[in-house]
Structure 1
Amino acid sequence: MPLFFVAFIGVFIIINMYINRRFFTQLHLSQKSKKYLKYFLYINIFGIVLYVLGRYLFDFPNWLYFLVSLPIGILFLLLCSAVFYDIIRVISDRVPMSNKRRDFFKKSLDISSLGVAFALSSRAIYEAKFIKLERVDVEIKNLKNKYKIVQLSDIHIGGIVDKNFIHSIVERVNNLEPDIVVITGDLVDIKISRAREALDEFKKLKHKLGIYFVVGNHEYFHNVDEIIDEVKKLGFRVLENENVYIGDKGEGFNLAGVYDIFGYRAGHHMPQIKDALMDIDNNSPTVLLAHQPRYIEEVTGEVDLMLSGHTHGGQLYPFKALVKLQQPYLNGLYQHDEKLQIYVSKGTGFWGPPMRLGASSEITEITIS
């Protein structure tokens, strides 16, 4: 944890330095105004330090946690604006034009760049307030009956994602009257002792055929065994490289689940697709729960549909490009090969700042038929 803390803060210090030197100091503003902008960057770094402390060590009231979590998103969007500003400024310096025209262009660029950064941050905070209902229809060969699956993913209980947040999710899921509810990882992102009050809200979840859960990478950061034990106490069926049968025998489908691929790095709770598919009903289709979409490369031919999360759909729009470098699929339904389909949720909660841009939170109603 200390190493992570230092690396995390170090990255944002470097981002701060870039924003200040390549963006703020280049603006047509008074030295006094530039000094205030520099203080703004210092405040953001202080906020990020408090965010890490509040996430992993201390309990903050919601209003404070909201404030200290915003700097991560604000600095990221400022960085995007700074890179855009830097590129345009360097190009314009090489374009021949009169001093008067150059001065006008520079002032326009300054105002528009600051305006865009402010507008994007405001929009991202606004978008994070809403959780959309995504309805998806998936046709699966050899499935004799229709089933309604409600998928939740990447809730990240902790900080702002508290008891009230979970209560509102449970109410919305209950209104959908699902056959089963599946949670594809990253449910808990704090010590389990601090998450119990929020987790208890899931006891009110209504379903016909069960609630099923697989761990995500963030569960490994907070004692994965403790989290699994606590989730089982709620009545969830945790799929630990194993499968169950949903529905009447011969009329339903196999539901399998694996540990997250972060287990390879952790050295424990590693995914094993062979174990997960052991003794499945070969005459019925199979749905697999796996937190990260890139696990699909290890999936064998017995699986018809894989449900994943992890990507958050990029969460903040410019970040999508970086997520695509790591994951084969970002969000939505994809046909991976002739048989296998995959649906990737954008996540029901959020990690870090309560900000989303071009990637809304979602509760997913998946009808398989």
Structure 2
Amino acid sequence: MGVFVLLNIYISKRLIAKLDISDKLKRYLRIFLLINIVGILCYMLARYYVNTPGWLYFLFSVPIGILFLLFWSAVVYDIFRVILSFTPISPSRRKFFKKSLDFSSLAIASTLSLKAMYEAKFVKIEKVDVDIKNLKESYKIVQLSDLHIGGLIDREFVKDMVTRVNALAPDVVVITGDLIDVDILHAKETVGELANLKSKYGTYFIVGNHEYFQGIEKIIMSVKALGIRVLENENVYIGEVENGFNLAGVYDLIGYRTKTYMPDLNKALEGKKESPTILLAHQPKFIQEVYEGVDLMLSGHTHGGQLYPFKYLVALQQPYVSGLHKHNENLQIYVNKGTGFWGPPMRLAASAEITEIVIRPLKTTLN
């Protein structure tokens, strides 16, 4: 909460205080900031009360996103205001540009907040083709990640998502962690909708860091009860004999801190067949532990930054933020931007996604 208060102070002192507007309007803006910070406090409390009405949860969660976008607007405003103060122009022109900067900063912050709320309503189907060396047949994998069930990600959201996934007729469905943000007992019906996912070879799940906060054992048991295979430092073979691939999954990196359910790549790859291997690992930075034996890693966790330009901060912690990347000669990684959202129901330049990944044999050219 202290961080949010500091951001509020910065916005008040470095944006509102510098605006060429009446003291009355400045007071109204500061009252808005105060209401906003109270909303953030209520959001934190609402996360512990699962019966909070959806409309109220929405009102409480939006202020976090608004504060973040206002902060970045204040930073940009501050930079341009200082540049303007040193620009060699007449006082009248400086005053004109200053007023234009004041108006545009508030207008842009408001527009971006509305746009971010609008973008969060839509989940795109991202289509990706990945060439895999030594793969004999093509397979369609649908990846879901970071649903964060609870709060605004409700049963209707999941039900609609399942319908869209089934329409893609996948060979395999994988869920790469952060499935739930509340006690599983309060979200059984919502999570239960995942049992309706249909694919040729089934649905597979790995835990993310948020599962460790909500009772990882209960979540794993509940997901298994739906007929979904949980990959716990292990692998399975997908497809026809000699024409398929290994699908492996590991626990999340946070297990190193909790000293329970720790990821173990060696164990996950134990006994795998001499076929291409796809690894499910929630955090992209797990790729730093992958040296051989894996052709493609599927991850989530980053949300693609969720609110631009937050992705640049995410990039300080994770080697990849979104999309398909070639890590080295033998290993590729795809990072899903998240099918749901965490915190505010807002996304900016980082759309939610259901990923349709077609892995196909690598075509070799003869000299």
Deviation of residue 56 (structure 1)? 2.7
Question: 3-state DSSP class of the match of 2:6?
Answer: helix
What's the CA shift for 1:299?
1.0
Match of 1:266 among 258, 264, 283: 258
Which residue, out of 81, 85, 93, partners 2:77?
A: 85
Query: Equivalent pairs: percent with the same residue?
Result: 63
For 1:308, the aligned partner's letter is S
Distance 2:298 2:88 in 1: 54
Report if aligned partners of 1:56, 1:191 keep a CA contact under 8 Å in 2: no
Which consecutive segments of 4 or more residues in structure 1 shift more than 4 A? Answer: none
Determine the C-alpha separation between the residues in 2 that align with 1:266 and 1:116: 42
Which one of 293, 302, 318 corresponds to residue 309 of structure 2?
Answer: 318
Q: Residues 261-280 of structure 1, C-alpha deviation per residue, up to 9 Å, x if partnerless?
A: 01111111110000000011
Q: Which moved more, 1:137-146 or 1:77-86?
A: 137-146
Does residue 166 of the first structure (1) align with residue 146 of the second (2)? no
User: CA separation in 1, counterparts of 2:202 and 2:192?
Assistant: 16
Q: What SS is found at the alignment partner of 1:318?
A: coil
Residue of structure 1 equivalent to 2:343: 352
Q: Shift of the alpha carbon at 1:143?
A: 1.2
Partner residue of 2:110? 118
- Structure 1 residue 99, shift from structure 2 partner: 2.3
AA partner of residue 247 (structure 1): G
- Over aligned residues, Cα RMSD in angstroms? 0.9
**CA-to-partner distance for each residue in 1:168-216, whole Å, 9 max, x for gaps?**
1000001011111000000011111111121011121111111000001
Structure 2 residue aligned with 1:25, among 3, 17, 23? 17
Aligned-partner SS, 2:235: strand
SS in 1 for 2:13: helix
Alignment of 1:1-369 (within 5 A): 9-281=1-273, 283-369=274-360
Q: Which amino acid aligns with 2:325?
A: Y
Work out the CA distance in 1 between the residues paired with 2:46 and 2:229: 30
CA shift for structure 1 position 97: 2.9
| Correspondence for 2:365 | none
Is the contact made by 2:50 and 2:182 (CA closer than 8 Å) also made in structure 1?
A: no
Deviation at 1:103, TM superposition (A): 1.5
Write 1 or 2 for the structure with the bigger share of helix. 1
For 2:294 and 2:184, the matched residues in 1 are separated by 33
TM-score (norm 1): 0.96
- Does the aligned pair in 1 maintain the 2:50–2:151 contact within 8 Å? no
Verify the 8 A CA contact 1:311 1:330 in the aligned structure 2.
Answer: yes
Distance 1:309 1:58 in 2: 25
**Is residue 155–residue 349 contact of structure 1 (8 Å, CA) maintained in 2?**
yes
Give the unaligned 5+ runs of structure 1.
Answer: 1-8
**Displacement of 1:29 after TM fit?**
1.3
Over residues 294-353 of structure 1, what are the superposed CA-to-partner deviations in whole Å (9 max), with x where a residue is unaligned?
A: 000101310001000011111111101101111111111111111111111011000011
Equivalenced residue count is 360
Find the aligned partners of 1:56 and 1:235 in 2 and give their Cα distance: 29
Task: Tell me the CA shift for residue 95 of structure 1.
Answer: 2.4
Structure 2 distance, partners of 1:354, 1:321, is 20
User: Aligned partner of 1:192: which letter?
Assistant: I
Tell me the amino acid that sits aligned with residue 229 of structure 2.
R
1:138-163 Cα deviation digits (max 9, x unpaired): 11111112111000001100111010
Amino acid aligned to 1:141:
K
> Where does structure 2 lack aligned partners over 5 or more consecutive residues?
361-367
Task: Quote the offset at 1:58 in angstroms.
Answer: 4.2
